[in-house]
Amino acid sequence: MTSPVVPSADGLGGHLTAADVTHRPLSRFSHLAEEARADLFERLPEPMRASHDVSRVGAALGAVLYVPATTPKSAERLLSGYWPSVTAMVFCLEDAIADRDLPAAEQRVHEILGLVRAHVQQVGSREGVPFVFVRVRTPKHLERLLEEWGDLLSELDGVVLPKVGADQARAFMKIVASAQVGRDRPLWGLPILEGTDLAQRESRLDSLLELRSVVARHRSLIPCLRIGATDLSGQWGLRRPRDFTIYDLAVVRDIIADIVNVLARDEDAPPISGAVWEYVREPRVFKPRLRETPFADEFGDDVGPEIRRRLLSGAIDGLLREAMLDRTNGLHGKTVIHPMHALAVDSAYVVSYEEWQSADAIAAANRAGDGVTASPGGERMNEPKPHALWANRTLARARAFGVLRPDHTFLALLEETRGR
């Protein structure tokens, strides 16, 4: 069967086949031809599997695609490079699967792990393979699956742990820690913060403080924390319309603020990912959020309007706005439910040239004990002490997502946000 063609941005540098993509080290935007990457990036994203360091892995997990474990051909397409911008996938055995379908879904996950093993053996390396996670239901469910998977567990990168408050996190992470025996790399645990004790105001602070202690104890196995906004919203019967973001749901916004306040303040805190964006398309009520001028500036008057129209038709403008609000509020990465969303989210986390210069200058000034200065380009004020944590996290993001050249914006990476 002929490998599907993966277009390069702006048509630069020809085309890659999906087979070419799967033989490259896994990194952001590896579907772009070398000429396109050289044109767009001042500094390229680093390979995602180059290190087993929990901080590097956490910074690298941007858009993570969730699919029901029973979705036909999802694993085959992931491994073949059919979705070249998808770098991490979660096969869900929890709320996405009806109880009656759970046995079939579990059998499918067993088959998926076998497919991963066969693929790694075929290509001779795991370096180009997307991260593969499984979302389980309960600690007892996880224990049973770990036993049933046997030596196939070595093909799994980690487990996603739902309905997490402090007690649930403690039980889950004890099992994850015990599963490290005999592995050549960590089995990551990704807790989803959506427990009732986190949602309800009267118990939230105590639960978050306890959860902070659990995370600190198991930090070496927790590359990121994930916010389960669908479950949190559901406790009040809420669901955001397309024209609004999760931050417009006041009760959920307050929960997110408290999560960031308690769990993201430490320098070594794991990144916290943003809420899932549920929309692929839906009739619009309010004006679009994407202005026309930036697209004309980036792509020209002929191509720019068409790219903008395509993004609007797929509800990508709302996704981009929410991803930018996530980033502004201290979150990193996002859960997505459609392959076309992955590139949009990851593009939003690429570091601009000005950001990178400022972050690098702040880090250097902080080490030297210097005071306030203008940013290298004169765009903003840099204060080394209060901006130090921002600078360090921005530099980590630059390693994972790359730094754009001064004459490009993140819009340049959206040209191929169309999905399949």
Q: Residue 56: in which H helix or E strand, if any?
A: helix 54-60
Do 172 and 279 belong to one domain? Answer: yes
Q: Is residue 420 part of a domain?
A: no
Mean pLDDT taken over the chain: 88
Do 275 and 362 belong to one domain? Answer: no
Q: What is the pLDDT of residue 149?
A: 96
Q: Is residue 214 part of a domain?
A: yes
Do 192 and 124 belong to one domain? Answer: yes
Q: Is residue 132 part of a domain?
A: yes
Do 280 and 379 belong to one domain? Answer: no
Do 186 and 335 belong to one domain? Answer: yes
Do 170 and 239 belong to one domain? Answer: yes
Q: What is the pLDDT of residue 326?
A: 97
Do 338 and 376 belong to one domain? Answer: no
Q: Is 30 exposed, middle or buried (0-12, 13-18, 19+ CB in 10 A)?
A: buried
Q: Which pTM value belongs to this model?
A: 0.88
Q: Is residue 357 part of a domain?
A: yes
Report how many domains make up the chain.
2
Do 131 and 228 belong to one domain? Answer: yes
Q: Is residue 82 part of a domain?
A: yes
Q: Is residue 257 part of a domain?
A: yes
Domain of residue 224, CATH code: 3.20.20.60
Q: Residue 169: in which H helix or E strand, if any?
A: helix 166-178
User: What is the mean predicted confidence (pLDDT) over 315-319?
Assistant: 80
Do 337 and 221 belong to one domain? Answer: yes
Going by C-beta distance under 8 Å and a sequence separation of 6 or more, which residues neighbour residue 177? 218, 221
- Cα–Cα distance measured from residue 95 to residue 370, given in angstroms and rounded to the nearest whole number: 52
Q: Is residue 1 part of a domain?
A: no
Query: Which residue range forms the structural domain that includes residue 388?
Result: 353-401
Do 141 and 191 belong to one domain? Answer: yes
Do 212 and 332 belong to one domain? Answer: yes
**Which pLDDT tens digit goes with each residue over 185-232?**
999 999 999 999 999 999 999 999 999 999 999 999 999 999 999 999
Q: Is residue 7 part of a domain?
A: no
Do 258 and 362 belong to one domain? Answer: no
**Which pLDDT tens digit goes with each residue over 105-140?**
999 999 999 999 999 999 999 999 999 999 999 999
Going by C-beta distance under 8 Å and a sequence separation of 6 or more, which residues neighbour residue 150? none
Tell me which of 22-36, 92-106, 263-277 is least confident. 22-36
Helices 316-328 & 304-313, crossing angle to 10 degrees? 90
Q: What is the pLDDT of residue 284?
A: 54
